Amino acid sequence: MSTTAVVILNWNGKAYLEKFIPSVLEHMPEGDVLYVADNGSQDGSLEYLRNTWPDVRLIVFDRNYGFTGGYNRAFDRIRSDGETFDYYLLLNSDIEVTPGWLDGLERFMDSHPRCAVCAPKILSYSDRGFFEHAGAAGGFVDRWYFPYCRGRILATVERDEGQYDSACKVFWASGAAFMIRSGVWHQLGGLDEAFFAHMEEIDLCWRAMLSGWEVWAFPGSKVYHVGGGTLPNNSPRKLYLNFRNNLLMMYKNLPERNRRRIIFSRMCVDGAIAAMYLLTGKLSFFKSVVRAHADYRRMRKDVTRTVPLCPVLRPVENLPRLVLRGYRDPVLPLPAGECPPAFYIRGYLNLFTRAFFRRRYKKILSSYDRLLPLQKQYVDYRVTYYNRLSGGFRSDAGPFVPSSAVRPDAVLGGARANSRYIFDTLKYLRYFPAKVRASYLFGDITYVPSVPSFVKSRPIAGDSACSVVLPLDMLRHFRFVRRDPVPFRKKQDRLIGMSYVGQPHRRRFMEMYFGHPMCDLGSINPSEKEHPEWIRPKISVRRHLDYKFVSCIEGNDVATNLKWVMSSDCLPVMPRPVYETWFMEGTLIPGYHYVEIRPDYSDLIEKMEYYTAHPEEAEEINRHGKEYAAQFADPSLERLIAVKVMEKYFRLGGSLS
């Protein structure tokens, strides 16, 4: 059974201890221990605790070390005393806990081994139907690293109506009730004492993510927070600490290549905010921002920068947009897709500039050496996934052709190649010498070739080593929805499916559900003879986003629309996939990344009714799908993986030494 050391940091908070210590002790699981670390209080807090609650363990400091220094010394003292706990929990003195709050957090952490930090839902003590400012239902940051929460944006706090009752990965957890693995705490060195107070928990969460850990909000556990117990929300001192520490946090944790640019843009935003304070007569706030910037410049030379093991992508959201439209799950930094004219222009440029790009071959591969350790593991995994060849083969005869033969309208694999496939292949082939030889099979490939070949698609089941997957036909297949304008709960409770209905399994689906009141189906094949009533004009992706469910049934090979559906707030509905592409459909988990229906489609309506009645579970699948799609967001990383897939092929084939 897991154990937790709960530490309340106290500084002249006797009134809060008298009010809230009883509920904390009442709901303390067996084996967990409550500590109060006192930061040099002068209000009789220690005498009260010794006389009233002798079972509470005391850690006494000679002065006020602040939030950061107090907690660091408290947990160091616990470890030096020989006490061992699985988790540490930082708890504000002005928190009222509820039954099962700590059990729930422990069970969640136990079942999520990659979760380093977890926080409960934090509600307002004075207005119990609303979220509380400090943390609400999990914290995020915008593109300039201003913090906001599910349930609280700036000073606007939402009523808790169960809209955020699903656990989700977040950017930060509130220090008001903050659970962390004890090993991670000591590995990361605890809180940064240069911060003193405010933003220190966001910095710690960021450092945990840079070390490969996850941060979660678990609303299944809830507490009530008074808030402003140490510094009121309208305090100039609090404003100063927030602005100064935010800049220090960015300086520590942003990647070197764009740190200066992002911090400069953030300081410009801060300047605009300071000017607004000055113009509205809030001189104390104006001085706080100016002093925060001056102290940041002075302090940054003493800051220890985080050594990252795992990248953390810069957020896309910005607070003004959130203020205007309310909270939505953070936008993914996904490419929306290339427009056809740009695609073909780039394709012909690649064709005529191949000699220039060959000189960059070693530079592309050397970028692998600059990756973070966890990134290297990830790249190696994907290269092996796409290229499963384990031994050498001869590429000096048969269907193998030199790269110079890969040109528009070339005859490859016994058929004339589509120029989209040619241009996508040249995007990566241009880095290799003209002599390298390969077999190319373009189109919807549903079988495993007899010789190792580059393909767009392959069967998921069986030995597919000879099918080496490349990111081909990207113009059709790799389009994403960056921002879904319609939240899941506001979409129509129906399924939409507009596709080319030529395959027997798609025709069977249409025969079963065309005309059903919960389905909006049609065929975009204008030559449909048997069922002309099926014929419908093509509609835009935006029109699809009005529906809760989108049919993603495979056609000749994979479902073309699966990528953009998984990046939207719609639910993809399909049987378990049979084929896969660069999107690695074989790694998708039914009921986690998409709604699985039977191969005979008989349970479609049942599944739709279930997820319509359980929107929190549907939104959980939405989040998982977006997280899965986000791994394809970095174009430079995708290029490196594709080049390494080709390099492995050419080396095993003997055409590249």
Q: Mean pLDDT score of the chain, rounded to an integer?
A: 90
Residue 612 has pLDDT above 90, yes or no: yes
Percent of the chain at pLDDT exceeding 70: 94
- Looking at the structure, tell me whether residues 452 and 548 fall in a common domain: no
Task: Tell me the per-residue pLDDT of 422-432, one tens digit each, with 9 for 90 and over.
Answer: 888 988 988 89
- Select from 308, 348, 343, 316 the least CA-distant residue to 332: 316
- Looking at the structure, tell me whether residues 246 and 354 fall in a common domain: no
DSSP 210-238: HTT-EEEEEEEEEEEE---SSS-TT-HHH
Task: Tell me the per-residue pLDDT of 42-83, one tens digit each, with 9 for 90 and over.
Answer: 899 999 999 999 889 999 999 998 889 999 999 999 999 998
- Looking at the structure, tell me whether residues 533 and 564 fall in a common domain: yes
Q: In this structure, are residues 134 and 227 in contact, taking their beta carbons and an 8 Å threshold? A: yes
Task: Tell me the per-residue pLDDT of 274-313, one tens digit each, with 9 for 90 and over.
Answer: 999 999 999 999 999 999 999 999 999 888 888 888 888 8
Average pLDDT estimate for 109-128: 94
Alpha-helical (H) ranges within 340-439 are 340-352, 354-358, 361-366, 373-386, 419-429
Phi–psi pair at 105, nearest 5 degrees = -65, -40
For residue 561, the model assigns a pLDDT of 94
Q: In this structure, are residues 579 and 457 in contact, taking their beta carbons and an 8 Å threshold? A: yes
Residue 321 has pLDDT above 90, yes or no: no
Q: Name 438's bridge partners.
A: 401
As a whole number of angstroms, the distance between CA 449 and CA 439 comes to: 10
DSSP 583-615: T-GGG--BTTTBEE--TT-TTHHHHHHHHHH-H
- Looking at the structure, tell me whether residues 287 and 266 fall in a common domain: yes
Is pLDDT larger for residue 253 or for residue 528? Answer: 253
Residues 98-112: b if buried by 16+ CB within 10 A, e if exposed: beebbbbbbebbeee
Q: Name 453's bridge partners.
A: 467
Q: Which residue type is seen at 160?
A: D
Inside any domain, residue 331: no
Non-local (6+) Cβ contacts of 112 within 8 A are 118, 214, 216
- Looking at the structure, tell me whether residues 643 and 621 fall in a common domain: no
Q: Name 642's bridge partners.
A: none
- The whole domain housing 57 covers 4-325
**For residue 438, how far is the Cα from the chain centroid?**
37
- Looking at the structure, tell me whether residues 439 and 521 fall in a common domain: no
Residue 354 has pLDDT above 70, yes or no: no
Inside any domain, residue 334: no
Inside any domain, residue 23: yes
| DSSP assigned state of 329 | P
As a whole number of angstroms, the distance between CA 493 and CA 274 comes to: 47
- Looking at the structure, tell me whether residues 466 and 484 fall in a common domain: no
As a whole number of angstroms, the distance between CA 375 and CA 363 comes to: 18
Structure tokens at 449: 């070739």
Is pLDDT larger for residue 630 or for residue 347? Answer: 630
Of 76-80, 175-179, 401-405, 436-440, least confident by mean pLDDT is 401-405
Percent of the chain at pLDDT exceeding 90: 65
Inside any domain, residue 332: no
- Looking at the structure, tell me whether residues 30 and 152 fall in a common domain: yes
Inside any domain, residue 335: no
| DSSP assigned state of 631 | T
Of 335-339, 371-375, 629-633, least confident by mean pLDDT is 335-339
Q: In this structure, are residues 201 and 176 in contact, taking their beta carbons and an 8 Å threshold? A: no
Let me know the angle formed at the C-alpha of 168 by 163 and 174, rounded to the nearest 5 degrees. Answer: 90
**For residue 451, how far is the Cα from the chain centroid?**
38
Q: Which residue has tokens 């986690």?
A: 592
CATH number at residue 589: 3.40.50.2000
As a whole number of angstroms, the distance between CA 572 and CA 226 comes to: 42
Cα dist. 430→34, 69, 472 in Å? 63, 55, 15
3-class DSSP state for residue 197? coil
- Looking at the structure, tell me whether residues 621 and 641 fall in a common domain: no
Of 185-189, 353-357, 439-443, least confident by mean pLDDT is 353-357
- Number of folded domains that form the chain: 3
CATH number at residue 71: 3.90.550.10
As a whole number of angstroms, the distance between CA 53 and CA 46 comes to: 10
Strand pairing class (411-412; 168-169):
unpaired
Is pLDDT larger for residue 123 or for residue 309? Answer: 123
Domain boundary among the residues 301, 325, 349 is at: 325
Strand pairing class (519-523; 492-499):
parallel
Alpha-helical (H) ranges within 123-232 are 182-188, 200-210
Task: Tell me the per-residue pLDDT of 183-237, one tens digit each, with 9 for 90 and over.
Answer: 999 999 999 999 888 899 999 999 999 998 999 999 999 999 998 655 556 789 9
- Looking at the structure, tell me whether residues 124 and 153 fall in a common domain: yes
Inside any domain, residue 407: yes
Inside any domain, residue 241: yes
- Looking at the structure, tell me whether residues 38 and 153 fall in a common domain: yes
3-class DSSP state for residue 5? strand
Task: Tell me the per-residue pLDDT of 375-396, one tens digit each, with 9 for 90 and over.
Answer: 889 999 999 999 999 999 988 8
Q: Name 550's bridge partners.
A: 496, 572
Q: In this structure, are residues 108 and 216 in contact, taking their beta carbons and an 8 Å threshold? A: yes
Average pLDDT estimate for 329-335: 63
For residue 336, the model assigns a pLDDT of 57
- Looking at the structure, tell me whether residues 484 and 620 fall in a common domain: yes
Non-local (6+) Cβ contacts of 428 within 8 A are 470, 639, 642, 643, 646
Inside any domain, residue 657: no
Confidence of residue 636 (pLDDT cuts 50, 70, 90): confident
Residue 611 has pLDDT above 60, yes or no: yes
Q: What is the pTM of this model?
A: 0.75
